[in-house]
């Protein structure tokens, strides 16, 4: 008889007043007993709707069955068949709009906590049996992957499992992309990311850091070097600004800069050579997950934090759980507001952010109600730090240095239904194609790219 | 890891290092830079490529000891290695002009030298004006002379070359009727600002090499952003060279001081540790 509790087994978390004093993980994770109890909630549906909701199609009921039976190694093996980074996905996927959205239990009550169970399985494996993976036998074909973020790492892992000799070129000094520089330690411990990347290296994936494709070398010279196909997973890392007066004052950061200093460079650790301002009052502009991450980081640096978002609570694009966590941590939401200028002091530092109030009009092309400025509603927020989290675009470096790569007007690479770009043998996926999206959709694209590259190289070598 | 093949003290606070970095050397051009980390916990700092040889894979950097990280870099000896060394980054300098004037200030001369050399090899008539505080700080004198048709050495106190600023010499040359197609100024922001004030009067196109605070150096953070005309530019990808008559130098100087107190604290701590004096 399954556990018919209408609610998910609660995940233990650090209390808000404690966790704002540290950068350690907020969610502590299930105990084996909790995991078993939650696994019992799965009805083991024959048609497995949850699987279709997962961009990499993890066989969810099967791995949950193994959690019920207590064979966690087998559960891990089942997840690994289709997912390269389960400890990451279990933490950062928006399950409510993916696997858990389709869960039958979710129709009348809460869905099965698939993400929490995946995380539990991956964490247990890492702690108890992190034996090196066996390196597959090489098929002699070389593939290059540009960018070591979720899309590139997934493509690399899948290709390596198929026997390809894969080299990943990464511009930063460490692999992981947004998993390392963007998502904070308190949502995704960096040690876990590196442990998952180590598994890829065990599979034979060669990761070359400090290599900027487009500068250190071009796509075309990689082809000349004997790579038979290339997967571009270079992401969308170019920060957008609003071009309003005062945006270049000291204390105004892009979320990318603020988060890179904190997550990648560990600027919050005392004695770190990379500095970060110690803000007293921070205004974060934007309402996505990046805005929540930046706000919660600023809170942990001891700042009072305001989130300024031009629509209402209902339209906030961030995950509900992140918004709740941010609210618990005392972050103030100034909704239906938009900044118009930043006012500085005589030293060139941010002093105030001038905002205007908004109201919602008719739905626009995106289906969301369009925010409209309310005339003469301007007001000031005192602040010594402002973080712009209004989105990112693909970095133009690769398209500017590669002939014949077609892009759309937002600068995103155009691909066909096989993830191939306008150049034969050059594939792309993730944010480089879609613009800023989610970790798991990038991983799904990496997976598909790997399958297409495999088919392409096989067709070529048979002809 | 990137091995230090050679370390040469150019003056009391300026050092040249030759690093084994084939991926950087292969495509490096004048005006481009690298980002390095000295060790595993280190910060990322940008330094211009002073010279590169694609055959041997060697890249030269010249740095001034100004703070904690450059001090830590200077602790490293030949045969030791740097943790990270990535490049070439930024746009190469445009090497065009029949008669050009390259102006270098202080350690900026390390950046001015490869540019002067590139112009010389491209067949331009190169006048070089270099400025230092005093004779102890002069660097790359022979190297500059070799690639310059005219070489002018200025010092603040007159202890070497002529007493005066680089802008004094520039204005003198222009007033004596020398017609430059282009002026390239590389050095402290304040010097580049004043060079541009001179050249604007005479309507001479002027390129400056900007040196804002950088983190990644690949265009993903905007920490290095500058106001150039009506536009916001990222120095790491759009530059570091810009039209000097369009750059907002005052804003750039202000932004460069964002972490001044943090840096001073770090430097003082490290100085005490090493019992070393920094100029």
Question: 3-state SS string over A283-333?
Answer: EEECCCHHHHHHHHHHHHCCCEEEEEECCCHHHCCCCHHHHHHHHHCCCEE
Given A102, A128, A154, which residue is the final one in a domain?
Answer: A128
Whether residue A287 sits in one domain with residue A376:
yes
pLDDT band at A368 (very low <50, low <70, confident <90, very high): confident
pLDDT band at A134 (very low <50, low <70, confident <90, very high): confident
B-contacting residues in A 363-402 (Cβ below 8 Å) = 395-397
What total number of domains does chain A contain?
3
Q: What is the pLDDT of residue A1?
A: 77
Tell me what the mean pLDDT of segment B159-173 comes to. 95
Residue A352, in any domain of the structure:
yes
Q: What is the pLDDT of residue A82?
A: 87
The CATH number of residue A92's host domain is 1.10.1060.10
DSSP H helices, A70-168, are 72-82, 86-92, 114-128, 150-161
Whether residue A408 sits in one domain with residue A301:
no
pLDDT surpasses 80 at A366: no
Residue A4, in any domain of the structure:
no
Report the chain A residue with the minimal C-alpha distance to residue B256. A250
Q: What is the pLDDT of residue A381?
A: 97
Nearest CA of chain A to the CA of B240: how many Å? 14
Q: Which CATH code for domain B91-209?
A: 3.40.50.80
Please answer yes or no on whether A171 and B69 come within 8 Å at the CB atom: no
Given A388, A421, A452, which residue is the final one in a domain?
Answer: A388
Whether residue A384 sits in one domain with residue A246:
yes
- Segment B108-141, tens digit of pLDDT: 999 899 999 999 999 999 999 999 999 999 999 9
Residue A119, in any domain of the structure:
yes
Whether residue A383 sits in one domain with residue A268:
yes
Whether residue A371 sits in one domain with residue A249:
yes
Q: Domain extents for chain B? A: 2-89, 91-209, 211-279
Residue A90, in any domain of the structure:
yes
Whether residue A165 sits in one domain with residue A101:
no
- Segment B10-29, tens digit of pLDDT: 998 899 999 999 999 999 99
Q: What is the pLDDT of residue B273?
A: 61
pLDDT band at B184 (very low <50, low <70, confident <90, very high): very high
Q: Which residues of chain B approach chain A closer than 8 Å at the C-beta?
A: 23-24, 26-27, 37, 41-44, 68-69, 72, 83-89, 215-216, 218-223, 225-227, 232, 237, 251, 254-255, 257-259, 262-263, 266
pLDDT band at B279 (very low <50, low <70, confident <90, very high): very low
Place of tokens 């972050």: A331
Q: What is the pLDDT of residue B277?
A: 53
Length of chain B equals 279
Tell me what the mean pLDDT of segment A195-223 comes to. 94
pLDDT surpasses 90 at A84: no
Whether residue A354 sits in one domain with residue A424:
no
- What lies within 8 Å, CB to CB, of B161 at 6+ separation is B138, B152, B153, B154, B155
Q: Is A287 exposed, middle or buried (0-12, 13-18, 19+ CB in 10 A)?
A: buried
Q: What is the pLDDT of residue A233?
A: 97
pLDDT surpasses 70 at B278: no
- Segment A380-398, tens digit of pLDDT: 999 999 999 999 999 998 9
Whether residue A246 sits in one domain with residue A351:
yes
Q: Is residue A348 within 8 Å of A246, Cβ to Cβ?
A: no
Whether residue A253 sits in one domain with residue A322:
yes
Q: In this complex, which of A216, A273, A274 lies closest to B23 when CB atoms are compared?
A: A216
**Residue A89 belongs to domain spanning:** 16-128
More confident residue, A17 or A440: A17
Whether residue A248 sits in one domain with residue A120:
no
Place of tokens 């034969």: A424
Please answer yes or no on whether B254 and A397 come within 8 Å at the CB atom: no
- Segment A384-439, tens digit of pLDDT: 999 999 999 999 989 999 999 999 999 999 999 999 999 999 999 999 999 988 88
Nearest CA of chain A to the CA of B176: how many Å? 40
Q: In this complex, which of B41, B42, B255 lies closest to A250 when CB atoms are compared?
A: B255
Residue A294, in any domain of the structure:
yes
Count how many Cα atoms sit within 13 Å of the Cα of residue A304 in the half-sphere of its side chain. Answer: 8
Q: In this complex, which of A238, A273, A277 lies closest to B41 when CB atoms are compared?
A: A273
Mean confidence (pLDDT) of chain A: 94
Please answer yes or no on whether B23 and A265 come within 8 Å at the CB atom: no
CATH of B2-89, one of 3.40.630.30, 3.90.1150.10, 3.20.20.110, 2.40.30.10: 2.40.30.10
Q: In this complex, which of B221, B232, B254 lies closest to A260 when CB atoms are compared?
A: B221
Whether residue A345 sits in one domain with residue A245:
yes
């Amino acid at each position: 008889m399954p556990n018919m509790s209408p609610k998910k087994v609660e995940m233990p978390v650090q209390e808000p007043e404690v966790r704002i004093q540290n950068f350690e993980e907020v969610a502590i994770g299930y105990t084996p007993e909790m995991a078993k109890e939650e696994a019992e909630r799965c009805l083991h549906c024959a048609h497995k709707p949850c699987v279709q909701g997962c961009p990499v199609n993890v066989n969810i009921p099967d791995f949950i069955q193994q959690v019920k039976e207590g064979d966690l190694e087998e559960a891990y093996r089942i997840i690994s068949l289709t997912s390269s980074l389960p400890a990451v996905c279990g933490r950062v996927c928006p399950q409510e709009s993916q696997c858990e959205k389709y869960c039958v239990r979710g129709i009348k009550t809460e869905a099965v906590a698939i993400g929490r169970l995946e995380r539990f399985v991956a964490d247990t494996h890492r702690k108890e049996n992190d034996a090196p993976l066996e390196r597959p036998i090489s098929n002699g074909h070389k593939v290059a992957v540009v960018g070591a973020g979720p899309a590139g790492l997934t493509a690399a892992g899948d290709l390596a499992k198929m026997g390809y000799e894969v080299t990943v070129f990464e511009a930063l000094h460490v692999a992981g992309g947004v998993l390392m520089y963007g998502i904070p330690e308190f949502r995704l411990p960096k040690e876990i990311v590196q442990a998952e990347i180590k598994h890829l290296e065990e599979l034979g994936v060669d990761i070359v850091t400090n290599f900027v494709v487009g500068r250190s070398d071009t796509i075309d010279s990689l082809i000349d070097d004997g790579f038979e196909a290339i997967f571009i997973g270079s992401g969308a890392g170019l920060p957008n600004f609003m071009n309003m007066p005062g945006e270049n004052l000291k204390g105004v950061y892009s979320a990318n800069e603020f988060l890179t200093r904190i997550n990648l460079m560990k600027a919050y650790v005392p004695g770190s050579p990379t500095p970060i301002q110690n803000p007293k009052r921070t205004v974060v502009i934007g309402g996505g997950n990046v805005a929540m991450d930046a706000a919660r980081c600023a809170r942990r640096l001891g700042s009072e934090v305001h989130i300024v978002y031009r629509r209402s609570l209902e339209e906030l694009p961030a995950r509900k759980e992140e918004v709740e966590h941010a609210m618990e941590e005392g972050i103030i939401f100034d909704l239906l507001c938009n900044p118009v200028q930043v006012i500085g002091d005589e030293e060139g530092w941010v002093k105030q952010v001038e905002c205007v109030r908004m109201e919602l009009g008719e739905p626009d092309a995106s289906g969301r109600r369009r925010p409209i400025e309310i005339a003469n509603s301007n007001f000031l927020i005192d602040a010594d730090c402002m973080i712009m989290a209004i989105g990112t675009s693909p970095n133009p470096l690769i398209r500017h240095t590669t002939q014949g790569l077609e892009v759309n007007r937002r600068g995103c690479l155009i691909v066909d239904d096989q993830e191939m770009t306008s150049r034969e043998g050059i594939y792309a996926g993730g944010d480089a194609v879609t613009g800023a999206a989610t970790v798991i959709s990038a991983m799904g694209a990496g997976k598909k790219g790997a399958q297409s590259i495999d088919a392409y190289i096989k067709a070529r070598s048979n002809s | 890891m990137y091995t230090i093949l050679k370390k040469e003290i150019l003056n009391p606070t300026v050092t040249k290092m030759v690093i084994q970095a084939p991926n950087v050397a292969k495509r490096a051009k004048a005006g481009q830079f690298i980002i390095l980390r000295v060790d595993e916990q280190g910060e990322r700092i940008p330094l211009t490529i002073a010279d590169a040889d694609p055959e041997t894979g060697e890249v030269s950097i010249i740095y001034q000891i100004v703070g904690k990280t450059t001090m830590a870099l200077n602790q490293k000896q030949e045969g030791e290695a740097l943790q990270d060394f990535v490049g070439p980054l930024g746009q190469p300098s445009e090497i065009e002009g029949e008669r050009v004037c390259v102006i270098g200030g202080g350690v900026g001369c390390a950046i001015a030298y490869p540019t002067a050399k590139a112009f010389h090899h491209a067949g331009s008539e190169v006048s070089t004006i270099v400025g230092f505080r005093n004779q102890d700080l002069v660097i790359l004198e022979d190297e500059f002379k070799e690639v310059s048709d005219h070489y002018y050495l200025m010092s603040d106190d007159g202890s070497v070359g002529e007493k005066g600023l680089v802008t004094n010499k520039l204005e003198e040359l222009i007033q004596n009727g020398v017609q430059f197609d282009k002026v390239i100024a590389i050095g402290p922001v304040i010097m580049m600002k004043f060079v541009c004030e001179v050249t604007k009067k005479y309507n001479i196109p002027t390129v400056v090499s900007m040196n804002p605070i950088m983190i990644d150096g690949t265009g993903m953070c905007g920490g290095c952003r500058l106001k150039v005309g009506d536009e916001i530019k990222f120095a790491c990808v759009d530059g570091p060279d810009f039209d000097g008559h369009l750059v907002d130098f005052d804003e750039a100087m202000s932004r460069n001081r964002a972490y001044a107190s943090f840096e001073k604290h770090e430097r003082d701590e490290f100085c005490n540790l090493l019992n070393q004096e920094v100029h």
